[in-house]
């Protein structure tokens, strides 16, 4: 059951010795207190699970009158349909948020961190190769002075041959800036 899983998750290992010393009523009150504390941590995993289960229950309860009163007045039917629609929409949002928060959010954040780390690494490498790139740029400026209409990739090819660079033409062209 949901509450049993929640309580097992929340209780610390050293709580089990103290719990055994409590009376049945005290134990029940203590478990209810922990459950309420965790439940009201808004947007926690337990909060989502509780509200998702609650809305599934609401939907079941809202659908039951439809089955029992299919032939009754349309006003009861309309109200039941309104409830079902409302609870279905809320349940859909809760499930979507739960899915994002507990399955995708960490991966998305990690992806941003990885991207930032890669960018930082690239900038660091470019900083170390600044003098090398300056030489490439100086050679490219000379080529563009001779042939101002040449595209960057062609100039990069000429610079590669003149300076005997082991990098690809495409790599060199990414570094060059037209004067």
Q: Following DSSP, what letter does each residue of the chain receive, concatenated?
A: -HHHHHHHHHS-TTHHHHHHTS-HHHHHHHHHHHHHHHHTSTTSHHHHHHHHHHHHHHHHHHHHHHHHTTTS-HHHHHHHHHHHHHHHHHHHHHHHHHHIIIIIHHHHHHHHHHHHHHHHHHHHHHHHTHHHHHHHHHHHHHHHHH-TT--HHHHHHHHHHHHT--S-HHHHHHH----
User: pTM above 0.75?
Assistant: no
Which runs of E-coded beta strand occur in 18-176?
none
Task: Render pLDDT for 25-56 as a digit per residue (tens, 0 to 9).
Answer: 887 777 777 767 666 677 777 778 888 888 88
Q: Please state, in angstroms and rounded to a whole number, the distance separating the CA atoms of residues 133 and 23.
A: 77
Q: What is the mean pLDDT of residues 53-75?
A: 72
Task: Render pLDDT for 108-125 as a digit per residue (tens, 0 to 9).
Answer: 777 777 888 888 888 888
Domain ranges in the chain? Answer: 2-128, 130-175
Q: How confident is the model at residue 1 (pLDDT cuts 50, 70, 90)?
A: very low
Q: Which of 50-54, 77-81, 165-169 has the highest mean predicted lDDT (pLDDT)?
A: 165-169
Asked if residue 70 has pLDDT above 50, the reply is yes
Asked if residue 173 has pLDDT above 90, the reply is yes
Q: Please state, in angstroms and rounded to a whole number, the distance separating the CA atoms of residues 176 and 42.
A: 52
Q: How confident is the model at residue 104 (pLDDT cuts 50, 70, 90)?
A: confident
C-beta separation of 177 from 139 below 8 A: no
């Amino acid at each position: 059951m949901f509450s049993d899983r929640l309580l097992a998750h929340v209780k610390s290992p050293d709580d089990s010795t103290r719990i055994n010393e409590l009376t049945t009523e005290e134990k029940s009150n203590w478990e209810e207190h922990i459950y309420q504390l965790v439940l009201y941590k808004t947007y926690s995993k337990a909060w989502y699970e509780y509200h998702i289960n609650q809305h599934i229950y609401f939907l079941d309860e809202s659908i039951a009158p439809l089955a029992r009163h299919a032939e009754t007045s349309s006003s009861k039917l309309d109200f039941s349909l309104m409830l079902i629609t409302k609870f279905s929409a809320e349940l859909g949002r809760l499930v979507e948020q739960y899915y994002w928060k507990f399955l995708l959010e960490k991966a998305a954040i990690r992806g941003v961190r990885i991207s930032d780390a890669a960018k930082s690494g690239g900038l660091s490498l470019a900083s170390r190769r600044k003098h090398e790139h300056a030489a490439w740029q100086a050679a490219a400026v000379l080529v563009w002075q001779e042939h101002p209409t040449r595209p960057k990739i062609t100039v990069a090819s000429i610079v590669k041959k003149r300076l005997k660079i082991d990098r690809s033409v495409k790599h060199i062209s990414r570094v060059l800036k037209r004067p």
